[in-house]
Structure 1
Amino acid sequence: MNSISKFEAERKKRIHERVNNSELQQTSKAFLNETLKAEYSYGFSWMGRPIIQYPQDIMALQEIIWQVKPDLIIETGIAHGGSLIFSASMLELLGGDGEVLGLDIDIREHNRLEIEKHPMSKRITMLEGSSIDEEIVRQVVEFARGKKKVLVCLDSMHSHEHVAKELELYSPLVNQGSYLVVFDTIIEDMPVGSFPDRPWDKGNNPKTAVWEFLKHNDRFVIDEEIQNKLLITVAPDGYLKCIK
C-alpha cells in the first residue's frame, strides 16, 4: 500500500469511527440545533455574495464538483446568488465550458443586478419561475440537452410535495456518478413547530420527500460517507449519488 492509499484508508477509518461516537454525535446535534435557531448560515459569503449555507456543506459541494467535473450545475433557489457564484467559480477552476443554471420563483432585481455584474456571471444563466412549472422544466430540459455530466442542487421551497415533484422532474437529468443534492433535510430532525411561519415541518419536508423518492428509484443512494464526515450539515440523507 503506497502513502496515498494508506492515507485514504486511514481517513475512511476515522470517518467510520465517528458514527459510533455518541458524545461527538450529540455535540454535533446540539450545535446544529442552536445554530439553526441563531440563523448561523446567514453569516457567510462567497466572492462577495451572501451564500446561505453552512461552511461544511460548501466544503462537501466543493469536493463533489471537483470529483464529478460537471458541465452543468442546476440549482433551484437563488436568493442572493452566493451559491450560483460558488458553483460558477468551481467550474472556472476546472476550466472548460461548464455552466450554472439557477431557478427561482422570484429573482429580486437588486440580487439579479449584483449577480450579473459579478466576474463569474459569464457562466451563469437564471430563469424566473417555479421549479416545478411545466414551462420552466421544459426550458431546463432543453438547456441540459447534450450535457455529459449534470449535477442538481435542490434548495427552493422545502415542503414534501414540492421537493417530491422536483425529485421526479430533475433526477432524470443527473448522470451516473454525479449527484442530486437536497438541502434542508435537517427540518425532519428539528423539534415540531420549529418553523411556525413556513409551510413545512417535521413529517413534511425535503427529507420525507427523499425517503419516499428512494422507495421507487434505484438510480440513487444516500452517500452516507459525506454526512458522516461532515457531522455538521443541513442535508442529512440529502447527498444522493447516481449509481446507474
Structure 2
Amino acid sequence: MPAWVNDSRPFLDRWIDEQHVDRSRLTRILDGLEVSSWREPADEDAVQRPEVLLPGLTAQPWWDRRYFPWITDLEAGFGAIREEFEAVGGLVPADAVRHPNSGNLAEAGEWNAYYFHLLGRSYPEHIARCPRTTKVLSEPDGVADSGMCYFSIMGPRTHVAPHCGFINARVRCHLGLVVPDGGRMRVADETRTWREGRAIVFDDSFEHEVWNDADSGRAVLLFDVWHPELTTIEKRALAYMMTVWKTFLYEDH
C-alpha cells in the first residue's frame, strides 16, 4: 500500500470537521480510503487496480459518449482547439514539460505535456493563451479539479507501459488533435485508435497502455471529469483531496 494513502487521511478528517460535513454523506470515500490503506494494488490480478478504490461506482474500461452530452460541443470546438494548440507550438510547444510519469512509464520515445490543470493547480498563462479551448472545457464537470487537463504530446516511436491511474473517482477524455497512423491505446482488453476531432472516454483506473509507432508525433487534448455517479459533496471532498494528493504525487510540479 502506498504510504501517501494513509498519510493523506488526516487531511480529509480535518476538512470534514472544518466544513461541518456529515460523515455519512462521504461513506464511499471513507470506506475507499480505509480499504486502500491495506490493499496492495501491484499484487492484484484485476485489470482495475487504482491505489484508491472507491466502492459502489460503475466500473467499465470504456464509456459510451451518451453519458457525456458535452462531447458534442467539444468536438464542434475542434477547429479552434487545434488552432490554439498550433499557436502555442503544436507538437513542440515551448512551455511544454516532460510528463511527470515519462521517466518511469515511457519505455521508448518522449512524452510531454502542456498543462492547464494538474490536481487542483491551474496554469494561468497557458489558460490565457488558449481562451477558446478554455471556454469549451468550462462545460464538462470537474476539468479544473478532478485530475489533469493538458495537451498530451507523444513523440515518434513512443510506448507508454501498462499502468493504472491512482483513483477511480474520475473518467478521462481524449480529443484527437494530431493523429498519425500507428497510434493506439489499450484499456483493459480492448484496443482503440484516435481520430482527429473525435473524443473517446475511458476509465484510467483500469490498466492501459499507449503506442505511437509513427515517425511523427501524436497529440490529444486530455482531461479528466468526475465519475458521473459522484454526489456534489463527494466531489467537493475529492476536489480538496486532489490538492493534497498532488503534494504527495507531484511534489516537483
Q: Which TM-score applies when normalising by structure 2?
A: 0.28
Higher strand share: 2
Q: Which TM-score applies when normalising by structure 1?
A: 0.29
Q: Which has the bigger relative contact order, CA under 8 A and spacing at least 6?
A: 2
